[in-house]
Structure 1
């Protein structure tokens, strides 16, 4: 399966990251400047950055990055469709908003996922589906946005480096341990 990410798709993935982390950063900057510490919605905001609030997004991003690394199958096909939607939407926004043209920014991970890594990826996707039913609405949205973001950014230069050097080898090794092939 040959999937490419365009500059517009990269834009969509980066906007999803901003959507997740910008409100917390805004409150922290406002507090540092002596503001009242109110969030975008007017509610009192915490005085410190709490990574636990972002765990569903980060989990979804990791699973999305692994999904786009799958060599095929239903998971790889769905992740490729997500990238296609992101490319189309981002390219239109880039062209209409800034008059920019698009180009491919795909970088492929150096490590490839084995069948053992695919086993772990399927288990993680199943865990995300199960968690989606158990989480509240806000966390479900974060989880879905994370999967979308990870699928979209998984082939970009920085994320492909992370995938190739850390995530895919770790998932392959975990799969080997589960399958008894240590």
Structure 2
């Protein structure tokens, strides 16, 4: 299982904060049409879910890429904490409830990888950035013990359930 450090979570929260501030339309605009503005967050949220899924027991090239991104984020975040604010880096406790993906769930992640690659290729510059930041944020926050980490458990259960029903009917 992948682990995350204080620095890795800090990087993920920085990405999340950047995305929210870039998205924020203002209070009046948000109150006028909340559904329209909330819908613009969907590419980031979908990519976040995919990034989170890649940390849940996925091996092979996808798992290696996810682990590499997490390791780089841990290193960058730890260096920023140490040199930026003088805080000592350290490893966070992982989630106590770890729900790995089933075999069919891993198959669904492979399908989602193909969909994500196509979405990034087709998307405009702004959406392409949102998708990449969403995956990165999901990878860094998916293994944390906080709220984002707990979101990974129902996400994994949902993917396992959908994949099990799809592969049962095939």
Question: Match of 2:54?
Answer: 67
* Change beyond 3 A, Cα 1:135–1:25: closer
CA distance in 2, matches of 1:115, 1:90: 33
- Contact in 2 for aligned 1:6/1:104 (Cα 8 Å): yes
CA distance in 2, matches of 1:46, 1:135: 28
Structure 2 residue runs without a partner (length 5+): none
Question: Match of 2:19?
Answer: 20
- Contact in 2 for aligned 1:106/1:155 (Cα 8 Å): no
Q: Any idea what the Cα deviations from partners look like across 1:39-81, whole Å, max 9, x if unmatched?
A: xxxxxx9965511211111111000000111341111111100
Identify the match of residue 90 of structure 2 among 70, 84, 103.
103
Q: For the pair shown, which has the larger CA radius of gyration, 1 or 2?
A: 1
Report deviation, 1:103: 1.3
Structure 1 residue runs without a partner (length 5+): 32-36, 38-44
Identify the match of residue 149 of structure 2 among 140, 148, 160.
160
TM-score where L is the length of structure 1 = 0.83
TM-score where L is the length of structure 2 = 0.89
How many positions carry a matched residue from both structures? Answer: 166
Question: Match of 1:78?
Answer: 65
Structure 2 residue 91 is matched with structure 1 residue 92: no
Report deviation, 1:92: 0.9
Question: Match of 1:179?
Answer: 167
Report deviation, 1:101: 0.5
Report deviation, 1:23: 3.6
Question: Match of 2:111?
Answer: 123
Identify the match of residue 41 of structure 2 among 29, 43, 54.
54
Q: Secondary structure at the match of 1:68?
A: coil
Q: Provide the alpha-carbon RMSD of the alignment.
A: 2.2
* Change beyond 3 A, Cα 1:26–1:132: closer
